[in-house]
Amino acid sequence: MIPSTTVPASAPPLIARQCIVNHLRQVVGYELFNRSRGASVHTAASDVLLVFTALSHVGTEDIVGTKLLFVNCTHESLAGGHLDLLNPAQMVLEIPPLGHAASDEVTARLPILAELRAQGFRLAFSHSVLDSAYAPWLQLADYIKLDLSALALDQLAVLVQYARRNTQAQLIAEKVETQQHYETASRHGVELFQGYLFARPSEVHTQLLPPAQAHIIELINLLRTQATTEAIEEVLKKDAGLAFNLMRLINSAGFGLRREVNSFREAVMILGLRKLFRWAALLFTATRDGGPPPAICQTAVVRGRLMELLALEANMGAEVADQAFVTGLFSLLDAMLPLQLAPALALINLPEAVSAALLQGEGQLAMLLTLAKACESSDDEAFDHAARSLELNSTQINGAHLQALAWTDHLTDPL
């Protein structure tokens, strides 16, 4: 289940990212921090929102990248369904101590931690895990972080020796602020380092492309009733924000697929109803009404549907018709995001023909887009040229345009 704690609708969090380096100062990973919240309001829900926003961020900087990501967790968030949306091979879950470290609670938490590690997640612990009360957890430790601001140098030597004897974990010295810190930790055999000596956390003002809340609710309701793939695909088609966010997630490095996904239907089938439900619920939590004007979003949907119908009228086949819809839907991304079209499209993996149409104005899809724009603007010259090129007559085009408008009006009726 998604944690029951809710996050008020608000702007996406300000995320900071600090590198973790080896002795050659090569970056091996990044720790993510939510700079929108103080430590006193660190919750399961804020953990979930942090990871989801990092995966879905639509800025020019890719927060996730291909390095290891160290993410702080609460014990409640470890049971959250958002972890199903992550690539375990890339994630390191930082497990907090329990405070009082009661032996029965340590034992009770062990199965959850063991299951996460069995799924492929790496686990990191603070040096508190070297206390005797946490002995059952030591076998699960992939990383142990040694806080140099809290440890005396003689304590550091003892803890390193104990960790070497009792775990297979790599040791990370954190809060390394001076050369002396680095040299001392390195001399004792610590292999990885994090702190101001190497880099201060860099901040990213995250951005999401918010879909209409009503469409997310409709999608959630369909998923709860185990609707057909076709019905779910229809909802995705009606909202550019929904479609963009899904393609952004499933093709991100953080999701972990080894091939590109280019169609909504394939994305739905790969995710499955359970994961798609969790994604939709997280998207509902992470976004708010606002974003691009509704008229732009509706124009994009009409354009996509019109191009799909025109492709079918021109006997281009079902696959090209699907690509035509995607071309029209994402042709206004630069109006929806604070980005130019090329970097906006670079956030998602699109078929080569779609990218060529949108960025170079090449191919059949580009001619379909020209015709769709001509229908919107009543540009007779562009209309005639595109119609002749596609061997379509006015009756076919006008009929398809009316169908697209009617289809969109029906889809966007208030719930």
pLDDT, residue 105, reads 85
Q: Give yes or no: residues 140 and 269 share one domain.
A: no
Q: Is residue 2 part of a domain?
A: no
Average pLDDT over residues 194-221: 84
Kindly report the length of the chain: 415
What burial class does residue 312 get, using C-beta atoms within 10 Å of its C-beta: 0-12 exposed, 13-18 middle, 19+ buried? middle
Residue 38: count other Cβ atoms within 10 Å of its Cβ.
8
Instruction: Give domain status of residue 5, yes or no.
Output: no
Mean pLDDT of 263-270: 88
In a domain, 304, yes or no: yes
pLDDT computed for residue 197 by the predictor: 93
Q: Write the CB contacts of 328 (distance below 8 Å, at least 6 apart in sequence).
A: 300, 303, 304, 305, 306, 307, 308, 368, 369, 372
CATH, residue 110: 3.20.20.450
- pLDDT at residue 1, rounded to an integer: 30
Instruction: Please report whether residue 7 resides in a domain.
Output: no
* DSSP letter, residue 171: E
Domain count, the chain: 3
The answer on pLDDT for 62 being more than 90 is no
Whether 156 and 42 map to the same domain: the answer is yes
Q: Does the pLDDT of residue 171 top 90, yes or no?
A: yes
Tell me the pLDDT tens digit for each residue of 350-371.
889 999 999 999 999 999 999 9
Residues 323 and 375 in one domain: yes
My answer on whether 193 and 171 are in the same domain is yes
Residue 314 sits in the same domain as residue 260:
no
Expressed in angstroms, the distance from the first to the final Cα of the chain is 26
Q: Are strands 192-194 and 68-72 parallel, antiparallel or unpaired?
A: unpaired
Q: pLDDT class for 285, splitting at 50, 70, 90?
A: low
Instruction: List the structure tokens of 121.
Output: 């997640």
Band the pLDDT of 291: cuts 50, 70, 90: low
Check residues 330 and 407 and name the one with the higher pLDDT: 330
Based on the fold, state whether residues 128 and 98 are members of the same structural domain: yes
Higher pLDDT, 256 or 302: 302
Instruction: Examine residue 149 and state whether it is found in any structural domain, yes or no.
Output: yes
Query: What is residue 413's predicted lDDT score, i.e. its pLDDT?
Result: 47
Dist CA 76 CA 84 (whole Å): 15
Task: Pull the structure tokens for residue 322.
Answer: 């699907």
Q: Give the tokens for residue 103.
A: 């032996």
Average pLDDT, rounded, for the chain: 84
**In this structure, are residues 66 and 33 in contact, taking their beta carbons and an 8 Å threshold?**
no
Residue 400 covered by a domain? yes
Same domain? For 70 and 194 the reply is yes
- 262 with 338, same domain: the answer is no
pLDDT band per the 50, 70, 90 thresholds, residue 80: low
Percent of the chain at pLDDT above 90?
Answer: 40
Chain centre to alpha carbon of residue 78: 18
Can you give the pLDDT at residue 9? 40
Does this model's pTM top 0.85? My answer is no
Domain end, chosen from 249, 268, 286, is at 286
**294 band by pLDDT with thresholds 50, 70 and 90:** low
Say if residue 90's pLDDT is above 80: yes
pLDDT at residue 257 in the model: 72
- 48-53-59 Cα angle (round to 5): 170
Write down which residue in 205, 231, 264 finishes a domain. 205
Whole-number pLDDT of residue 6: 36
Torsion from C-alpha of 379, 382, 383, 384, nearest 10 degrees:
130
The average pLDDT across 274-283 equals 82
pLDDT for residue 122 is more than 60: yes
pLDDT band at 415 (very low <50, low <70, confident <90, very high): very low
Pick from 259, 220, 239, 282: which is nearest to 85 by CA?
282
Residues of the domain holding 282: 213-286
Closest residue by Cα to residue 54 from 46, 45, 63, 65:
63
User: Residues 338, 268: one domain?
Assistant: no
Confidence category of residue 37, pLDDT binned at 50, 70, 90? low
Does one domain contain both 198 and 264? Answer: no
Token readout for 8 is: 């008020």
In tens, the pLDDT along 99-120 reads 776 678 899 899 999 999 999 9
Identity (one letter) of the amino acid at 139?
A: Q
How far apart (Å, rounded) are the C-alpha atoms in residues 98 and 211? 38
Domain end residue (candidates: 286, 313, 343): 286
| Spacing of C-alpha 299 from chain mean position | 26
Confidence of residue 60 (pLDDT cuts 50, 70, 90): low
Same domain? For 227 and 189 the reply is no
Do residues 314 and 266 share a domain?
no
